[in-house]
Amino acid sequence: MSGQWSQTAGPAGALRYYVAGAARRPAAPLLLVCPELPTVEGAHGDVGLPYEAVAERVAQESGWQVLAAMFRGVGGSAGSFSARGWLEDAGDVMAAELAGRSGLRAAGFGFGGAVALALAAADERVRGVACFAAPTRLAEWADDPAGLAERCRSAGVIQAGFPEDVVAWAAELRTLEPLASAPRLGARPLLVVQGSEDDDVPPASARALVEAAQHAELRMVLGAGHWLRADPRAVATLIGWLERQN
């Protein structure tokens, strides 16, 4: 791989992200990739290519510069996962790399899709969003704070003693509701990619997300499950979408 790891200072400490395509195309359009929330211990999540490998493929085939961010609690970035913290981290990576550019697109896998949408809803410099198997009703996660905390402890994305207030920590998820973020994109494009056999995010949720947006398209990956990084058709869909962006 020809890219490189970089880092910026975030509220929780060092924030790592991988930059692909920078050396070859310093003036290329910019894509920020937001990661899935892992469900097993380890930096890169569950199934599929490491994010840096996805970034390299997308950069090589699209001509874009791609930032694969590792938000707090994953991939060697400092701190512990929180919904509000991940949104802050996305903004910090954008700020670190956007200087001198007119805007970027954001893509996210799973929970990272909700982060990408919330970032775009709050900042018009994000000129389009691509979501892959993104959950649409995070309030349901917030309804089980203890269960969510146990999942995050098992995955190794929160440190011992965190959070102090598990109910307030889980309630942050409600501020990233994708069905509330999607309409705030206005005319900016939204791509929703969904596996037809996803047991975690049903296809009906993807359709609801598309219906909530003003300018959205749905791409169903037949036979695919939740972990779309493992499916080359999903990554190819992202590349094709980028090629159609102005």
- pTM of the predicted model, to two decimals? 0.93
pLDDT exceeds 60 at position 231: yes
Average pLDDT over residues 52-80: 94
Into which CATH architecture does domain 4-243 fall? 3-Layer(aba) Sandwich (3.40)
Cα three-residue angle 61-62-63, rounded to 5 degrees? 105
Burial class (CB in 10 A: 0-12, 13-18, 19+), 70: buried
Is residue 180 within 8 A of residue 207, CB to CB? The reply is no
d(CA 57, CA 196): 24
Q: Percent of the chain beyond pLDDT 70?
A: 93
| Structure confidence by residue, pLDDT tens digits, 76-114 | 999 999 999 999 999 999 999 988 787 899 999 999 999
pLDDT exceeds 90 at position 25: no
